[in-house]
């Protein structure tokens, strides 16, 4: 049985004061008994910083990402994927700077890996360019019709202005046909290509490697959703005009790099020896 004890109001108030003082003392002891330990500061974020375009540009400079592009593109082209070592090799190059005159009916001219022949196609003067090497080639034949009046009105025949497959040929329209028409050939360049490089260059518009609009207008586009459709940048155009950049440099770059992803660096020069640079070759800012 619990025995009840009576207390007065004064005794109750005194008890409350004593209990409150004890609680305050206990809290003060805990507050000032030692330094307060804070949790460690979290490390700074490690995620890459930048716009999605900048992040894509940086990742493209990675050899691992480049290898993935090579594997995917080779599968799309139906060819074997080359190794990074193979893509770092010098591409065989030929050039002829000797001037030549070609007329319809004249024997074919064999020079710099191609066989050239002037033809009349309907009401147009044309140039047949045959691949005389044992591999695919990129080619650049600089010509001037004689006379050169009203060439832009000549009927077009679709052709590939960038590459010629092994054993193949291309016929391009040069100008309107006139009696006595001829072609002055002032420069011929060819680069031998492995299969994937041919496929890469077939996605590049001919004006992007410095081929003149009179010739480029007859180029047929690939039936491919990933073909490139960019214009020649002014800086590259100026470099071509000053002969600081050449057709060979542009072709050499795009033979190794997909034009949908990689931009031509203004300082790029065609490889002069195997393994001269590591691929991919990118802008310093990448």
Tens digit of pLDDT for each residue in 75-106?
A: 999 999 999 999 999 999 999 999 999 999 99
Residues 6+ apart with CB under 8 A from 149: 176
Residue 194 dihedral angles phi and psi, to the nearest 5°: -75, 165
Helix (H, G, I), strand (E, B) or coil at 94: strand
pLDDT range class, residue 2, cuts 50, 70, 90: very low
DSSP label at 11?
H
Contact between residue 193 and residue 200 where contact means Cβ atoms under 8 Å apart:
no
Q: How many CA atoms lie less than 13 Å away from 73 in the CB half-sphere? A: 26
Residue 44 has pLDDT above 80, yes or no: no
Instruction: Tokens for 25, please give them.
Output: 């003392």
- Mean pLDDT of all residues in the chain? 85
- Alpha-carbon span 127 to 80, nearest angstrom: 33
Residue 1 has pLDDT above 70, yes or no: no
pLDDT given for residue 248 in this prediction: 98
Q: How many other CB atoms are there within 10 angstroms of residue 267's CB atom?
A: 12
pLDDT given for residue 13 in this prediction: 54
DSSP strand pairing (163-164 vs 114-121) = unpaired
Residues 6+ apart with CB under 8 A from 211: 140, 161, 247
Q: Rounded to two decimals, what is the model's pTM? A: 0.79
- Whether the link from the prior residue into 135 is cis, omega within 30° of 0, is no
Residue 170 has pLDDT above 80, yes or no: yes
Residue 63 has pLDDT above 70, yes or no: yes
Helix (H, G, I), strand (E, B) or coil at 202: coil
Residue 114 dihedral angles phi and psi, to the nearest 5°: -135, 160
Nearest to 90 by CA among 247, 256, 239, 201: 256
* More confidently predicted of 271 and 226: 271
DSSP bridge partners of 176 = 124
Percent of the chain at pLDDT > 70 equals: 77
DSSP bridge partners of 189 = 95, 140
pLDDT given for residue 59 in this prediction: 81
Model confidence pLDDT, tens digit, residues 136-165: 999 999 999 999 888 989 998 999 999 999
Contact between residue 200 and residue 259 where contact means Cβ atoms under 8 Å apart:
yes
pLDDT given for residue 232 in this prediction: 82
- Whether the link from the prior residue into 134 is cis, omega within 30° of 0, is no
Residue 254 has pLDDT above 80, yes or no: yes
Residue 184 dihedral angles phi and psi, to the nearest 5°: -95, 115
Helices (H), the chain: 9-32, 52-60, 63-77, 84-87, 195-201, 213-216, 234-241, 247-254
Percent of the chain at pLDDT > 90 equals: 71
Residue 224 has pLDDT above 70, yes or no: no
pLDDT range class, residue 128, cuts 50, 70, 90: very high
* More confidently predicted of 30 and 138: 138
Residue 30 has pLDDT above 60, yes or no: no
pLDDT given for residue 230 in this prediction: 80
pLDDT, average across residues 186-208? 97
């Amino acid at each position: 049985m619990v025995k009840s004890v009576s207390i007065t109001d004064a005794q109750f108030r005194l008890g409350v004061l004593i209990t409150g003082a004890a609680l305050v003392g206990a809290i003060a002891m805990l507050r000032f008994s030692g330094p307060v330990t804070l949790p460690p500061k979290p490390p700074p974020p490690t995620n890459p910083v930048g716009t999605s375009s900048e992040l894509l540009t940086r990742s493209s400079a990675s050899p691992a990402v480049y290898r993935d592009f090579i594997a995917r593109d080779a599968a799309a082209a139906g060819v074997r994927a080359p190794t990074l070592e193979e893509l770092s090799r010098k591409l065989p190059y030929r050039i002829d700077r000797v001037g030549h005159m070609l007329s319809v009916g004249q024997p074919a001219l064999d020079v710099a890996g191609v066989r050239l022949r002037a033809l009349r196609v309907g009401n147009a003067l044309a140039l047949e360019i045959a691949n005389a090497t044992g591999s695919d080639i990129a080619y650049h034949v600089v010509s001037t019709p004689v006379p050169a009046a009203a060439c832009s009105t000549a009927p077009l025949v679709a052709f590939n202005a960038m590459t010629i497959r092994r054993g193949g040929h291309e016929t391009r329209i040069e100008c309107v046909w006139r009696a006595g028409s001829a072609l002055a050939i002032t420069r011929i360049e060819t680069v031998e290509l492995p299969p994937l490089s041919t496929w890469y260059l077939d996605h590049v518009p001919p004006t992007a490697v410095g081929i003149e609009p009179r010739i480029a207008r007859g180029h047929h586009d690939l039936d491919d959703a990933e073909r490139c459709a960019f214009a020649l940048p002014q800086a590259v155009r100026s470099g071509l005009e000053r002969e600081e950049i050449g057709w060979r440099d542009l072709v050499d770059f795009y033979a190794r790099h997909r034009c949908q992803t990689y931009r031509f660096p203004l300082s790029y020069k065609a490889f002069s020896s195997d393994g001269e640079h590591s691929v991919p070759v990118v802008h310093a800012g990448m």
